[in-house]
Structure 1
């Protein structure tokens, strides 16, 4: 069997993530990534004035088509809003607050923070005249949450869940040959889960263009059956006709291997579906001697489907798939391609240090490769459909997946979510099981749970018959869901007698969908409840729960159990059990939120992996504890290990299967050394050395990074004079970057309340108390005259637009909380006249060069507190009686530059995630800290 090389995986990945326009086989189909150059601002949950006047109109967007108001209106001025690129998570940008949600990591967002729970996004795009006649769609991979989408002021719809992808047809609303405005309002005030979920457009957005005759979204379903040395591939294709064409069409389908070589093809004819109807077309193709997809050789194929109308290729659609077999046996566990395979899995949320839920695609690969390096071969999506890019990473890197829907139920809301997940994901060979629920305590043990499970299980089978269904169950393994679910999902041994359940339901396969929930803090070896630190030694988290070692021994020694999924692979924001504030992340992970390994990683690597492992814990820096006993553990898969302290043997011990070794050692500074033996021969040596004081900063790009990708993960650490890593260092590191962008920083400290991101603070000040005076002069004064106070009237009140003055002077006020030289203050003027003059506190200001309606205000003419603005201008004239005239002068924008990027090391490590920006220019990352030698990392950017 051929193994796909890492280079092939990376080249494929880089191609997919770097495309802006992806046109397939010269058809009418285009998929254009539109992640760049959005405008963003926070709104307000219930105060419509603070929500930019949205939903205040007499006719709402729900009453009359095209009546989107406030930011949803096509003419809304968003110039003062912040410029961003997607994916974006505004929750991670917020400070921490003890009043915020425990489950979501105490980030200041949600219902208790109405000014932080609504996010507005706006983007302008041009669509050429030549696209007329095509179907134009907006595609969102996910918006958290309860999103409303508008296009050119037209309301398109609402998607409640933050985990569903969705698509809107905007063909009828397009301004062909001109500018078009996309607007999204996200309402993250309500939580869907009990873990950090982020807020905003945290996944990709696309514009899609197709012929009226096209394959629908997720329009192919590829299955395969292996017969002797060949495979029969069945391709079910759903074709839609949004045009008036009637007649025969040709369907041409081709299978390509990883190198692009054509290995099978078939064509056929069928009648086009009727107007706005769909048809299903099924074809079968033979693949001789297929390269099977498995965890070590994740071989992938592509199915190219083309629709030809009167000989012209009108649509082309590519589908990645793999050829493999899966089977769960109630006696022998899980089989992949006919071979027994123990599932060595982890549960994970989509959340990473510094960037929250808005993971760049490269980071999905980074995290899966971290898990693979630990020896893991399986991943459970907890507890919602993941982003497609995560599944792509699992396909290409060889990671098995349990794909999980968000909520159990039998109505359209529940089943439609399940349907969309399965239809989107069913071609991924990595997916081995659909999960339709998790820990539904209210229904797990009763007949309601049975009924719901039977419906969801049968419904899943009607969409994809090739995979079984599971539910994660935690409130007893006796009745209800556990008696009817196809694959039993045991959540924690302590919640019931697994062996007894298996003996009662001997025809039901099972696996540990959650196990562990152990509490550990990376680099901490003595529990300190006052500091909220848990020792990294693997111990029972609660009396009825089990350690990682106990859990793995249980599942590894029972052939009938398919395997175990640990809670969790990575720490995540929220659920800081067993503590509360100021702990802001979980303690469950085998790795911390950055992906830095805790010591349990090496236990798993010993018994999950295929290479020799030798790891000593703890570190050997215990100043002030000389002579005190330290527990020394060794994780290894060697037959025997001998431990030495300063070259004196402390004894050789035999390693038990799935175990670890322990010594009690009195602390003396120096070198702790372990030597591992296999078949009596020395195969490995590992040391922990007492280090000197910190001297210099080291930067290194993590080996799990995707080569030459735009986003890189950098490890920050400090070294002593001998070049040794200092495991107790907690220095604060300051960062600066050239030709790149810092996306986030982290360190894995569960109690750190430091900023995840350092961004400019933008506040907006409204112009209030707007008054006017009529002027008789046609020439505008170049200096501000003195106007009589008695002549001021409310601006625009009872204006007779057929009998206006020759010119007007307007006066208003705005407040500044501070007047700093470092701040940038801009006035974004909205046109209320022609030949406009602007005065601030009596000083004339000129418009900027790049925008004649933007005025940059110097701190020299501003003052803290109340400021006065005067505008002198000739009035605009109504062309039609029903024209609505602008009466809003504009907005004052105050930009407070951020502090320099910084982060404290935590037990020796910190992490920074950077993005390349300017092609052809190397990215230079510089770091410094008080009393330490600075560091520089140069990243080539030759793409």
Structure 2
């Protein structure tokens, strides 16, 4: 006999469960519509506080970059003389009744610094380290339903200065999101993907997923794992079942194999996705999609760095987290343009100097094929000059949690091949006492990611005696800043050491240490781009980059390209002043034609031969030096055309030429992107160049360039790369430097009207460019 009553009850229970789990994980951007106040605002954490007069804005937001520059600002040389202080942010939001049974947490990718957070007046906590991502559980404090308002409040305080040796920024400078999940859900950062074997024939993928049962009932749950290729096509799947007690957390482990995988490497950064689904019966109650790459990497004492059984030299750069005119709140499109330039040079590695970066920065490294040294701290307990009141004040209390959170967040990125737990640390590095602090940090890294080696950037090791006192002997990979001859000598005395240059200058001898020593795994140049801070007034910017703040090529980038690029390269530079005086510049337009007659020329090239021409007349041919040094000419200056031709086996393969410019006549504009999305992370970099009547760049022009925008665009910032400029970036005008200036343009939300950007300067013909809006 059919028990219809029991069947009906079971159906009702199933319907009830389906209603509870009607929605799986929901991620809501919380970037929009914050109220901001610069300064202290006692009582602002209270929900009833009146913030209507506060500035309305979207985050990410760096209020320090808005200026003004002032020599007396307490950030001083480390912070680039930009302002510090307190900033308050408040956001009001509502939650639907359908979210009443869910767990909710707020995620911040970074708040600079000493952030404190409240929800509806309830204090959630404090995080001193401005570079770390963190979250808080909001659930028990939230109001749910129509007309029920919730108030999220953030206070960021970097008043105590000097807090850093380089520019940090201020405020909620990275993305924020609300994550809503069912009571039974995947743990935050609890899914770990590794690829223990990766060959052209087979890729073995191990997935560990932790599940939290925050409900009041024990039950059986299923985790289904699906690997998708770059087209979204399933490549492999697996299913596991476990009973999870109420209040417990269990890990599901699955091993999958992908036949004939497309491996992730520097040349072909192929990516896959793991989709993990948590099921109660047939109902999906949570899911995650995580991008990863199938690869293996290792460091070898004799032969350096290997990726998928191929030996590479890591040709890297160090990067700080700011990007000139936008400060520390950097749209991803700005990083993308910078990464493209680094690729042109031949760069294949990035060191995150000296702190955790935004997660989307690492996503971009994954997509574009850069290997990464992921770094935690610039200081431990000992302070550093010009940053005496920095993370050293918080290290003892926070290092373990901050290290753990960075590793958990970042460990699924295929680009990361090594971790660094310190840069030029001033704490005593004796052995065994001083080594203990290093080992404690290494152990935390290994606890959460045992698959990658750990290093640190040692500073003056022959002074600190780490090469002789036993400290370096214990390191997985020995990393050293500068003094390559010391690292070479140390390895040759200890050939079982694995070694890497963690920070290097641009000189030839340091390149040769990498080129000629098979055991040298790589080096990271200081730096890829000029960065704010670490400069003495009137300078505001450290200028050791391959490129300046406005993405202009510098002499060292041109030379480095001739050493690192796989393509034929010819790049011309000359001394700016007569008879070899002045700086190296890349043009044929002296500041004073009357006093410039003896021109000292260098040509950087990887070609067999280079022939130099002046106004069509050969100035001679020179062969490639064995040590990759520049080819030099001393010639008598003549206005006109200077041309260098690169040849391989007698055949011309590349060339470069410069022409002497006349008087400035007009502006020309170029756009890094001609189509924009209305997302915060998209942007187009508009470069305005002053040229003469023939279109030749006027590299000595310094006219004030005024930008304007019509349509649905806005100017995010302006810049020219000049390290002694004190003009505000949050403006619509900027003086040209070496004949150029840039404007960073973003599309406004809610509009599809084309953007027209115009540039004008007194006495010059104006220029314009049109940018479309993506649907």
Task: Normalising by structure 1, report the TM-score.
Answer: 0.74
| Map of 1:32 onto structure 2 | 28
| SS of residue matched to 1:235 | strand
Match of 1:385 among 350, 356, 377: 356
1:596 and 2:552 equivalent? yes
Matches within 5 A, 1:421-460: 421-445=406-430, 447-460=432-445
Change (3 A) 1:273 1:426: farther
Change (3 A) 1:705 1:354: farther
Match of 2:333 among 359, 362, 373: 362
Match of 1:913 among 729, 744, 749: 744
Q: Is the Cα–Cα contact under 8 Å of residues 231 and 286 in structure 1 kept in the other structure?
A: yes
Q: Deviations over 1:220-267 (max 9, x none)?
A: 100112266212211011111221131111111111111000111111
| Map of 2:669 onto structure 1 | 699
1:461 and 2:408 equivalent? no
| Map of 2:490 onto structure 1 | 501
1:631 and 2:600 equivalent? yes
Query: Offset at 1:315?
Result: 0.2
1:182 and 2:152 equivalent? yes
Q: Is the Cα–Cα contact under 8 Å of residues 588 and 658 in structure 2 kept in the other structure?
A: yes
CA distance in structure 1 between the aligned counterparts of 2:678 and 2:479, rounded to whole angstroms: 40
1:903 and 2:747 equivalent? no
CA distance in structure 1 between the aligned counterparts of 2:524 and 2:641, rounded to whole angstroms: 36
| SS of residue matched to 2:531 | coil
Q: Is the Cα–Cα contact under 8 Å of residues 601 and 634 in structure 2 kept in the other structure?
A: yes
Match of 2:618 among 649, 654, 669: 649
Query: Offset at 1:273?
Result: 4.0
| Map of 2:5 onto structure 1 | none
CA distance in structure 2 between the aligned counterparts of 1:592 and 1:558, rounded to whole angstroms: 30
Query: Offset at 1:625?
Result: 4.5
| Map of 1:249 onto structure 2 | 221
Match of 1:711 among 661, 680, 683: 683
Q: Deviations over 1:624-677 (max 9, x none)?
A: 444532221111111111112222221111122422111112222111111111
Change (3 A) 1:95 1:316: same
Q: Is the Cα–Cα contact under 8 Å of residues 295 and 399 in structure 1 kept in the other structure?
A: yes
| Map of 1:126 onto structure 2 | 94
CA distance in structure 2 between the aligned counterparts of 1:911 and 1:376, rounded to whole angstroms: 24
Q: Which entry has the higher C-alpha Rg, 1 or 2?
A: 1
Change (3 A) 1:326 1:192: farther
Change (3 A) 1:504 1:550: closer
| Map of 1:90 onto structure 2 | 63
CA distance in structure 2 between the aligned counterparts of 1:320 and 1:27, rounded to whole angstroms: 22
Match of 1:328 among 284, 287, 299: 299
| SS of residue matched to 1:497 | helix
Query: Offset at 1:613?
Result: 1.0
Change (3 A) 1:273 1:389: farther
Query: Offset at 1:589?
Result: 0.4
| Map of 1:491 onto structure 2 | 481
- After alignment, is 92-101 or 312-321 more displaced? 92-101
Query: Offset at 1:102?
Result: 3.3
| SS of residue matched to 1:421 | helix
Q: Is the Cα–Cα contact under 8 Å of residues 365 and 706 in structure 1 kept in the other structure?
A: no
Change (3 A) 1:942 1:904: same
Change (3 A) 1:253 1:487: same
| SS of residue matched to 2:36 | strand
Query: Offset at 1:615?
Result: 1.1
- After alignment, is 624-633 or 746-755 more displaced? 624-633
Query: Offset at 1:411?
Result: 5.4
Query: Offset at 1:422?
Result: 0.7
- After alignment, is 81-90 or 238-247 more displaced? 238-247
Q: Deviations over 1:72-112 (max 9, x none)?
A: 110111111111111100110111111123333443423xx
Matches within 5 A, 1:270-669: 270-275=242-247, 277-406=248-377, 407-408=379-380, 413-445=398-430, 447-477=432-462, 478-479=467-468, 481-493=471-483, 497-516=486-505, 547-576=506-535, 580-618=536-574, 619-622=587-590, 623-626=592-595, 628-657=597-626, 658-669=628-639
Match of 2:718 among 723, 745, 751: 745
Name stretches of at least 5 consecutive residues in structure 2 with no aligned partner. Answer: 1-20, 382-394, 575-586
Q: Is the Cα–Cα contact under 8 Å of residues 362 and 706 in structure 1 kept in the other structure?
A: no
Query: Offset at 1:499?
Result: 2.4
Q: Is the Cα–Cα contact under 8 Å of residues 741 and 915 in structure 1 kept in the other structure?
A: yes
| SS of residue matched to 2:325 | coil
Change (3 A) 1:381 1:704: farther
Q: Is the Cα–Cα contact under 8 Å of residues 613 and 619 in structure 2 kept in the other structure?
A: yes
| Map of 2:16 onto structure 1 | none
Q: Is the Cα–Cα contact under 8 Å of residues 675 and 771 in structure 2 kept in the other structure?
A: no
CA distance in structure 2 between the aligned counterparts of 1:35 and 1:703, rounded to whole angstroms: 24
- After alignment, is 78-87 or 445-454 more displaced? 445-454
CA distance in structure 2 between the aligned counterparts of 1:438 and 1:402, rounded to whole angstroms: 12
Q: Is the Cα–Cα contact under 8 Å of residues 364 and 389 in structure 1 kept in the other structure?
A: no
| Map of 1:223 onto structure 2 | 194
CA distance in structure 2 between the aligned counterparts of 1:330 and 1:704, rounded to whole angstroms: 47
CA distance in structure 2 between the aligned counterparts of 1:705 and 1:142, rounded to whole angstroms: 29
CA distance in structure 2 between the aligned counterparts of 1:104 and 1:499, rounded to whole angstroms: 32
Change (3 A) 1:227 1:327: closer
| Map of 2:83 onto structure 1 | 109
Q: Is the Cα–Cα contact under 8 Å of residues 676 and 746 in structure 2 kept in the other structure?
A: no
Q: Is the Cα–Cα contact under 8 Å of residues 453 and 485 in structure 1 kept in the other structure?
A: no
Q: Is the Cα–Cα contact under 8 Å of residues 68 and 83 in structure 2 kept in the other structure?
A: no
| Map of 1:935 onto structure 2 | 767
Query: Offset at 1:377?
Result: 0.1
1:150 and 2:118 equivalent? yes
Q: Is the Cα–Cα contact under 8 Å of residues 99 and 106 in structure 1 kept in the other structure?
A: no
| SS of residue matched to 2:232 | coil
Name stretches of at least 5 consecutive residues in structure 1 with no aligned partner. Answer: 1-24, 44-50, 55-69, 111-116, 517-546, 759-900
Change (3 A) 1:454 1:395: same
Matches within 5 A, 1:863-874: none
| Map of 1:169 onto structure 2 | 137
Match of 1:925 among 738, 757, 771: 757
Q: Is the Cα–Cα contact under 8 Å of residues 366 and 706 in structure 1 kept in the other structure?
A: no
How many residue pairs were aligned? 713
Q: Deviations over 1:795-839 (max 9, x none)?
A: xxxxxxxxxxxxxxxxxxxxxxxxxxxxxxxxxxxxxxxxxxxxx
Q: Is the Cα–Cα contact under 8 Å of residues 239 and 273 in structure 1 kept in the other structure?
A: no
CA distance in structure 1 between the aligned counterparts of 2:616 and 2:758, rounded to whole angstroms: 40
